[in-house]
Amino acid sequence: MRALARRIEGFAHEIDLEGGHELIVDEPADRGGTDTGPRPTQLLASSLAGCIAITMEMYAERKGWELGRLEVGVDVSYEGPVPNDYEVSIYLPAALDDEQRRRLLTIATKCPVHKVLAGEASVRISERLEAA
């Protein structure tokens, strides 16, 4: 999978994702941006919420459990511009029994985005020079 950010103007960037998806990231006006899209750190929180929800739904489907309404909320605390804490709230249907709830909460920590934020991935930066 590849993501490519291209500057539009100011801090606004178009992100092209492999598979034909596009989105805009920016900074809010009070931080020098034009607020034409979410901040990249907001995308981290939304990626975590979505990944946990999908991971739990896939697990429940494999087990033959009907989840019904599932909600995953993520509250982010910042130290300056850097997120330093993610608080995840999971709302599960009341119809699930205690064992199903326990297993779903355990599987929530297995989503790929959670693993990345928990420091289980490496990031390497390399420079490519523009051809003259």
The pLDDT of residue 120 is above 80? no
* pLDDT at res. 23: 95
Give backbone dihedrals phi and psi of 82, rounded to 5 degrees, phi first.
-105, 125
What the block records as the tokens of 66 is 């009907």
pLDDT tens column, 16-37: 999 999 999 999 999 999 999 9
Long-range Cβ pairs for the range 7-12 (8 Å, 24+): 8/36, 9/34, 10/34, 12/36, 12/37
pLDDT-above-70 percentage for the chain: 99
Indicate whether this model's pTM tops 0.75.
Answer: yes
**Residue among 48, 46, 69 at smallest CA distance from 57:** 69
